[in-house]
């Protein structure tokens, strides 16, 4: 199938949604030569959007929160793109998107662009594809990009953590606080949101979180520069309550990272993440080609491992040594 990438790129520059949607599909497909062409072409025009990450366990109301925030941003006259990353929905990309479009309700307008990305294809696909999808949205000229990820694994947390501002959403009564802390999710939070705060237990969750933040603070390096204390905001996103406080927290945090130079550091961190994922994906493809069965070296190693003549670590060493020397 012939895809005219150049045509799509000029469509993107003209602000065409269809071109944007098709470029995002190409990013998801992950063809390396095409991605290289796309990213190289758009990269000079990126770096202008404000990127907000929203993460949290299933069921805390992330989508509702995301939509409410998008509505606020639209009310401020800002254009918004939402990237909903859901590694647990390989089958339901379409359905999810449908739900979200319906959910948007009165916020549905041409300046909110929503894209769902589900795990499919290769290993580590979302860590690889997400930053590049954000670059494409950024090049499309959106003022705000919201990356919503289900906080189910370290990789999703990492994705969220590459945003300018990362919101960790929780809900009372899910036993979530302590477990989020254990999973390291609290560490990436710039803003903590207790959604569904009209339920019992919101106050207790807030004190729990405050206690954990204080504990974390005491452990910090006393010589570190004065940091950011993540505010804890209560919302009932489904009724739009507390969303203005969330917006204020995002803006406060934005000013904080600008004045301390942390914004530039986050841009660099995001670049590190993106470069590393591209490099890893390149290596992964080398290995996948080897594993396809046409590589005699790997097959010979596998035969010896299957015969219990060599253990898999020794085999991996031999494989890497062979790859390294092949350059």
Judged by CB under 8 A, which of 1, 2, 40, 219 binds a second copy? Answer: 40
Judged by CB under 8 A, which of 3, 103, 238, 302 binds a second copy? Answer: 302
Does residue 255 bind a second copy (CB under 8 A)? Answer: no
Does residue 271 bind a second copy (CB under 8 A)? Answer: yes
Binding mask 206-225 for a second copy (x = CB under 8 A): --------------------
Q: What is the C-alpha to C-alpha distance for residues 173 and 130, in angstroms, rounded to an integer?
A: 31
Does residue 152 bind a second copy (CB under 8 A)? Answer: yes
Q: Which of 52, 17, 43 is nearest to 263 (CA)?
A: 52
Does residue 59 bind a second copy (CB under 8 A)? Answer: no
Q: What is the C-alpha to C-alpha distance for residues 112 and 95, in angstroms, rounded to an integer?
A: 18
Residue 164 beta carbon to a second copy: minimum distance, rounded to whole angstroms: 13
Which secondary structure element, helix H or strand E, spans residue 286, and what is its range?
helix 262-289
* Phi, then psi, of 113 in degrees rounded to 5: -105, 125
Q: Which of residues 154-183 bind a second copy (CB under 8 A)?
A: 154-155, 158, 176, 179-180, 182-183
Q: Which CB, 219 or 326, lies closer to a second copy?
A: 326
Which range touches a second copy (CB under 8 A), out of 68-76, 193-201, 244-252, 308-316?
308-316
Judged by CB under 8 A, which of 102, 219, 220, 313 binds a second copy? Answer: 313
For 184-241, give the secondary structure using H, E and C.
Answer: CCHHHCCEEEECCCCCCCHHHHHHHHHHHHHHHHHHCCCCCCCCCCCCEEECEHHHCE
Q: What is the C-alpha to C-alpha distance for residues 210 and 322, in angstroms, rounded to an integer?
A: 52
Q: Which of residues 95-134 bind a second copy (CB under 8 A)?
A: 119-125, 127, 131-132
Which range touches a second copy (CB under 8 A), out of 75-83, 84-92, 101-109, 215-223?
84-92
* Phi, then psi, of 311 in degrees rounded to 5: -90, 160
Q: Which of 10, 278, 13 is nearest to 132 (CA)?
A: 278
Q: Which CB, 18 or 43, lies closer to a second copy?
A: 43
Q: Residue 115's beta-bridge partner residues?
A: 83
Residue 94 beta carbon to a second copy: minimum distance, rounded to whole angstroms: 10
Does residue 47 bind a second copy (CB under 8 A)? Answer: yes
Query: Within 13 Å, how many C-alpha atoms sit on residue 309's CB side?
Result: 7
Does residue 297 bind a second copy (CB under 8 A)? Answer: no
Q: By CB under 8 A, how many residues form the interface with a second copy?
A: 79
């Amino acid at each position: 199938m012939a895809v005219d990438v150049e045509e799509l790129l000029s469509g993107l520059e003209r602000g065409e949604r269809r071109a944007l949607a098709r470029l995002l599909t190409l990013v998801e497909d992950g063809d390396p030569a095409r991605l290289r062409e796309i990213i190289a072409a758009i990269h000079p025009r990126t770096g202008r959007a404000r990127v907000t990450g929203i993460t949290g366990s299933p069921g805390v109301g992330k989508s509702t929160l995301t939509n409410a925030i998008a509505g606020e941003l639209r009310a401020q006259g800002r254009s918004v793109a939402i990237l909903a990353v859901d590694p647990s929905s390989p089958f339901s990309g379409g359905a999810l998107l449908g739900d979200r479009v319906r959910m948007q309700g009165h916020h549905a307008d041409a300046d909110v662009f929503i894209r769902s990305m589900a795990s499919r294809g290769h290993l580590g696909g979302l860590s690889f594809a997400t930053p590049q999808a954000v670059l494409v949205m950024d090049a499309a000229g959106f003022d705000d990009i919201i990356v919503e990820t289900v906080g189910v694994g370290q990789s999703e947390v990492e994705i969220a953590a590459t945003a300018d501002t990362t919101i960790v959403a929780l809900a009372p009564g899910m036993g979530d606080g302590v477990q989020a802390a254990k999973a390291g999710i609290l560490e990436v939070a710039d803003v903590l949101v207790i959604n569904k705060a009209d339920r019992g237990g919101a106050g207790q969750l807030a004190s729990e979180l405050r206690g954990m933040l204080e504990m974390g603070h005491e452990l910090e390096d006393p010589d570190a520069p004065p940091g950011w204390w993540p505010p804890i905001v209560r919302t009932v996103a489904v009724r739009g309550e507390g969303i203005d406080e969330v917006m204020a927290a995002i803006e406060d945090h934005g000013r904080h990272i600008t004045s301390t130079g942390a914004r530039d550091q986050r841009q660099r961190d995001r670049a590190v993440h993106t470069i590393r994922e591209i490099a890893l994906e390149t290596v992964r493809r080398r290995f996948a080609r080897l594993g396809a069965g046409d590589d005699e070296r790997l097959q010979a190693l596998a035969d010896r491992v299957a015969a219990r003549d060599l253990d898999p670590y020794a085999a991996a060493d031999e494989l890497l040594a062979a790859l390294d020397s092949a350059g």
